Structure formats: C-alpha cells, structure tokens
Structure 1
Amino acid sequence: MTFLYALQQTIDRFSQLSGRLLSVLSVVMMLSLSAVVVLRYGFNLGSIAMQELVTYLHATVFMLGTAYTLQQDGHVRVDIFYRHFSPRAKAWVNSLGGLIFLLPLCGYFVLSSWEFVGQSWSIKEGSADPGGLPAVFLLKTLIPLMAISLALQAVAEVLRNALLLITAGPADKRAVGA
C-alpha cells in the first residue's frame, strides 16, 4: 500500500510540475501572439514562423495540459447524479471510469498515432508554408505524449480512489473527506 501511495504521489508531483511549466508556456504564447499582432498591424511585418510558434505553443499547452487538468479535477463531467453521490460512490465511479474508459482511450491514442508520428519523424516533416517552422514532426509527437501523460495521471487517479476505497471503511467518513 505504501508503494501504491508513493507512486500516486510521484505521478501527481509530475503533473503539478508539468502544469507549472505549461503555465509559463501560456505566458510565452501570449507574448508571442502580441508580438505577431503588433508587427502585423503596427509595422506591416508578418512572420509565418512566429504565427506557427503560437500554434505550436497552443497545441503544447492544450495537449500536455490534459493530465494536469485531470489531476485538478477540471475535466468536463456530467454530474447530474455524481454530485449527490457519497465520497465512496464517487471513488467507485472515478476508479471504474478511469479503468474502463480513460486508460483504454489513452492506449488507443498511442497505438493509432504511433505510425503517423513515426512517419513524420522519418522525414523530419516541416511546415508546408515557406518561412514556417521546420518541426511539424515535434508538433505531431504531442499526440502520443498527451495520451501517455494522461494515462499516467489516470493511473494516479485510479490509485487514489482505490486506496480511498481500501483504507476507509463504510463508517469512516473522516478518511473520505465527508
């Protein structure tokens, strides 16, 4: 049990660190976009590379931010019934949802994108636009990275909820946060 708890905590720390780094990228993205707008409309200068940089940063923040969002319980949930569940029932829903839906979906993303990303890397795919960034292969790599980081956080969530179910008896409401 101690190992499982330590694993869950380690994955959570990784997601926290990723979230902090991605927040810095959000600021870089905002500054880059501001520079594109000022250069374009203030000085009539355009840069496809800078515009693509904003797209790459946005994709990075969005794709790699999924694990952090899950860790922060910020994902979309239809909680018509869920919000009325007891903490133990919520733990069951979260555990089973992660095992039955989220982890297989992450596996599907990794498997279905692997060849697509591999082909891109084999030719070191670059931008189709003249003056664009020569790193489309890196952008495409975000697909399996997103799935892997999300799967890791899903494991942490399943562990967290499973440990809650194992350690807290039905009458032990303090242990489940009720």
Structure 2
Amino acid sequence: MERIAAVIDQINTTTAHVLRWLALFMVLVQFAIVLGRYIFGVNSIAVQESVLYLHATLFMLGAGYTLLVDKHVRVDVFYAKATPQTRRRIDVFGHLFLLLPSMLALLYWSWPSVRNAWAIFEGPLSVGGIKGVFLLKTLIPLFCILVILQSVSSLVRLLFGKTT
C-alpha cells in the first residue's frame, strides 16, 4: 500500500515541478502584455487569455500537490488543538465524507460539458481569443483525478502507515 501512495505522491510532485515553471512563464507573459500595451501600443486578446489559461492550469493541476504538502485550506476551529489521534480521525472523515464525494460529484457532473467541448473543439470566449476552451475545460477532470489520487494516498497513510 505504501508503494501505491508513493507513486501517487510522485505523480503530484512531478506535476508541481512542471507547474512551477508555468508560474514564472505567466508572470513574464503578463509583463510582456503590460509592456506591449503601454509602451508599444500593441494588444492581443489571445495573449491576454493565455494568462487566464496559465493561471487556471497552475491552480487546477497544483491542487493535488497542495494536498500532499498539507497546505490546503482547513477550517482550524477544532483541528489546531486536537490530539494527533483526533486529527487523524478528522482527516479520515474529511477525505471519506467530504473530499472524495465532492471530487467524484464534480467529475461526474462536469464530464458532459468537457465531452461536449471536445466534440466541437469549443472555441474562444472572445473574438481573437485562444481556440482551445476545450483544453481549459479538460482541467476540471484532471483536477478531480489528481486530488482524488492524492486523497487516496493520504488515506492509505492515515489508515495503514505513517501520516503525511
């Protein structure tokens, strides 16, 4: 079981190592947009939308890694002062009854939209935009899958081994 958890952790870690370069690229593109617009008087809707695509990719695909390193949002009312055993119980409950069901529901309910977007190769939101909204929508199931996998990894460790 630990091997499965380690493989899942590696998937999200590798994804995060690739995504960190997107953050730098996103900043550089935004800088180029500002320079182009205010210094050279040049503007491109597609380039502006590329920042949206990069931002969405960074956050959607980085969510699994965020869960891995325990930097996700947590309502800390009871958790902070709880014993390690109580924290473990809260974590198991959260994964089994909150996180996994919500990710599975999101995956299920978003799939028809993603499938339809691919069927028509859904185009840009704006005239002159990126012709790849279907790619943007694909981030939703990928997000769900990466978070589900990381949740399974965390559950394996919570129930059968060391904690994450």
| TM-score normalised by length of structure 2 | 0.95
5 Å-filtered alignment, 1:39-58, equals 39-58=36-55
Do residues 31 (structure 1) and 28 (structure 2) align? Answer: yes
Q: CA deviation at 1:88?
A: 2.0
Is the 8 Å Cα contact of residues 87 and 176 (structure 1) preserved in structure 2? no
5 Å-filtered alignment, 1:100-115, equals 100-115=97-112
Task: Rate the CA distance shift 1:82–1:10 in 2: closer, same or farther, 3 A.
Answer: same
Equivalent position to 2:3, from 3, 6, 24? 6
Q: CA deviation at 1:176?
A: 6.9
Do residues 67 (structure 1) and 52 (structure 2) align? Answer: no
- The CA RMSD measured in Å over matched residues stands at 1.5
Do residues 118 (structure 1) and 131 (structure 2) align? Answer: no
AA matched with 1:162: L
Q: CA deviation at 1:128?
A: 3.5
Distance in structure 2 (CA, Å) of the matches to 1:114 and 1:56:
19
Is the 8 Å Cα contact of residues 67 and 153 (structure 1) preserved in structure 2? yes
Q: Secondary structure at the match of 2:151?
A: helix
Gaps of 5+ in 1: 165-174
Residue in 2 that maps onto 1:134? 131
Instruction: Deviation per CA, 1:121-157: give whole Å up to 9, x if none.
Output: 1110110422211100000111111011110001011
Which structure has the greater CA radius of gyration? Answer: 1
Distance in structure 2 (CA, Å) of the matches to 1:176 and 1:13:
16
Residue in 2 that maps onto 1:94? 91
Is the 8 Å Cα contact of residues 125 and 133 (structure 2) preserved in structure 1? no
Task: Rate the CA distance shift 1:158–1:119 in 2: closer, same or farther, 3 A.
Answer: same
Task: Rate the CA distance shift 1:176–1:123 in 2: closer, same or farther, 3 A.
Answer: closer
Distance in structure 2 (CA, Å) of the matches to 1:84 and 1:128:
47
Distance in structure 1 (CA, Å) of the matches to 2:55 and 2:101:
26
Q: Secondary structure at the match of 1:131?
A: coil
Is the 8 Å Cα contact of residues 121 and 137 (structure 1) preserved in structure 2? yes
5 Å-filtered alignment, 1:127-166, equals 127-164=124-161
After TM superposition, the runs of 4+ consecutive aligned structure 1 residues lying more than 6 A away are none
Gaps of 5+ in 2: none
Larger mean Cα displacement after TM superposition, 112-121 or 76-85: 76-85
